[in-house]
């Protein structure tokens, strides 16, 4: 096997297969839909937005799995819409591509706000206990 870049495609596919084997089906569907939406909205190269969206999706799906809540693939629309608003980004096309329900968007906003409060309290408690 050559040591050059010729086998990078094979390695990338192997890594993708390993990662997909670890992800729950709900997460794979939401990440796939999020990626599709970002492409359609003209944010293919925005790594900051993709990272933010993917991390938020992973947290929401993990919460849903633990709480035994079914999450629709359309939750991806709410996650992407929330991320665009949070990062103050405007899509190249109108927002009709996003099919986010108000209740899903409110859930995403509540979830992220709750996570921020929890992190702050945990960090505060940790620092207070150390002194």
Q: Tell me what pLDDT residue 19 has.
A: 63
Closest by CA position to 28, among listed 103, 36, 101: 36
For range 93-117, the mean pLDDT: 86
pLDDT at 127 over 60: no
Percentage of the chain modeled with pLDDT above 70? 76
For range 84-107, the mean pLDDT: 83
Q: Tell me what pLDDT residue 1 has.
A: 45
Give the global pTM.
Answer: 0.73
Q: Tell me what pLDDT residue 45 has.
A: 85
Structural contact between residues 111 and 59, judged by C-beta atoms closer than 8 angstroms: yes
Domain boundaries, the chain: 9-130
DSSP letters, 31-78, are HHHHHHHHHHTT-TT-HHHHHHHHHHHHHHHHHHHHTT----TTHHHH
Half-sphere CA count of 59, side-chain side, radius 13 A: 17
């Amino acid at each position: 096997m050559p040591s050059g870049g010729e086998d990078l495609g094979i390695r990338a596919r192997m890594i993708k297969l390993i990662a997909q084997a670890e992800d729950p089906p709900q997460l794979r569907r939401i990440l796939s839909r999020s990626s599709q939406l970002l492409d359609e909205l003209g944010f293919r190269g925005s790594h900051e937005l993709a990272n933010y969206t993917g991390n938020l999706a992973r947290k929401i799906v993990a919460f849903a799995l633990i709480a035994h809540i079914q999450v629709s693939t359309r939750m991806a629309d709410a996650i992407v819409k929330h991320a665009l608003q949070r990062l103050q980004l405007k899509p190249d096309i109108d927002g009709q591509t996003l099919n986010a329900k108000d209740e899903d968007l409110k859930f995403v906003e509540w979830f992220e706000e709750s996570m921020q409060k929890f992190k702050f309290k945990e960090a505060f408690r940790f620092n207070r206990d150390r002194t």
